[in-house]
Chains A and B, each alone.
Chain A
Amino acid sequence: GENVEQHPSTLSVQEGDSAVIKCTYSDSASNYFPWYKQELGKRPQLIIDIRSNVGEKKDQRIAVTLNKTAKHFSLHITETQPEDSAVYFCAARRGNTGKLIFGQGTTLQVKP
């Protein structure tokens, strides 16, 4: 069935370093890939998304890359800050449904 694998499950970096989180999806019909950030005790919030017709998208310190052939996509955070500490979820979806399949989440800790 549809599945999204996310790695690593935990990631610890020093402030100012880069962080990379990777996801692999199984459904080749997936064409929309959002990333959500969930701070402790708060709701998930969309931070960036990418559609299958582009290979990369950037928004300030955050970027997402997509390799459709390999069916994987990655989140890149540069110049990490303590406030980037949170759980990050990737997801994949077929464009004509509302069904988001989420990865298991990555707990990112940015040490000052």
Chain B
Amino acid sequence: ETGVTQTPRHLVMGMTNKKSLKCEQHLGHNAMYWYKQSAKKPLELMFVYNFKEQTENNSVPSRFSPECPNSSHLFLHLHTLQPEDSALYLCASSQVIRGTSYNEQFFGPGTRLTVL
């Protein structure tokens, strides 16, 4: 596998379920991101991790819980979601130089999430 991969590609879950989305990057990058893409809305940044440390939390509800165990892997743990959380969840990665200079973001294919 090359680039940024995401699993699963599709997920249907009930409001009481707990599930996790996984992202893996094979680009040697050190920053990773979660975005939410809903119909008729711009891409919304959710979280940013720089060298495994969370540097941005864009006022995301606590029912979304990110985890970044290393620079290549990023998870989004989901619990007690609402139907309005149904969306395409995109992961991205980029290289950060000297801790503050962020380069181009490469996106994964996304996980299409449906909450019933």
Interface string of A79-98 (1 = CB under 8 A from B): 00000000001010101111
Residue of B nearest to A105 (CB): B42
Give the shortest distance, in Å, between A74 (CB) and chain B (any CB): 17
Is B66 among interface residues, defined by CB-CB distance under 8 A?
A: no
Main secondary structure of the interface of B (DSSP, over half): strand
Interface string of B1-35 (1 = CB under 8 A from A): 00010000000000000000000000000010100
Interface residues on chain B, number (Cβ under 8 Å):
27
Are B42 and A98 in touch, CB under 8 angstroms? Answer: no
Give the shortest distance, in Å, between B97 (CB) and chain A (any CB): 11
> How many angstroms from the CA of A47 to the CA of B90 in the assembled complex?
18
> How many angstroms from the CA of A32 to the CA of B94 in the assembled complex?
14
A96-B100, A99-B48, A99-B56 given as contacts; is B42 within 8 A of A4 (CB)? yes
Of the listed stretches A13-21, A37-45, A62-70, name the one at the interface; the rest are far from the partner chain.
A37-45
Are A98 and B90 in touch, CB under 8 angstroms? Answer: no
Are A98 and B50 in touch, CB under 8 angstroms? Answer: yes
Instruction: Report chain B residues within 8 Å CB of A29.
Output: none
> How many angstroms from the CA of A45 to the CA of B42 in the assembled complex?
15
> How many angstroms from the CA of A20 to the CA of B48 in the assembled complex?
31
Instruction: Report chain A residues within 8 Å CB of B104.
Output: 34, 46, 49
Instruction: Report chain B residues within 8 Å CB of A89.
Output: 42-43
Instruction: Report chain B residues within 8 Å CB of A105.
Output: 42
A43-B107, A99-B48 given as contacts; is B42 within 8 A of A104 (CB)? yes
Is A25 among interface residues, defined by CB-CB distance under 8 A?
A: no
Are A99 and B101 in touch, CB under 8 angstroms? Answer: no
7 contacts between A and B (CB under 8 A): A34-B104, A43-B108, A43-B110, A46-B104, A98-B33, A99-B45, A104-B42
Instruction: Report chain B residues within 8 Å CB of A91.
Output: 43
> How many angstroms from the CA of A43 to the CA of B109 in the assembled complex?
5
Are B45 and A44 in touch, CB under 8 angstroms? Answer: no
Instruction: Report chain B residues within 8 Å CB of A34.
Output: 104-105
Residue of A nearest to B56 (CB): A99
Are A97 and B42 in touch, CB under 8 angstroms? Answer: no
Are B102 and A98 in touch, CB under 8 angstroms? Answer: yes
Interface residue ranges of B74-103 to A (CB < 8 Å): 90, 94, 96, 100-102
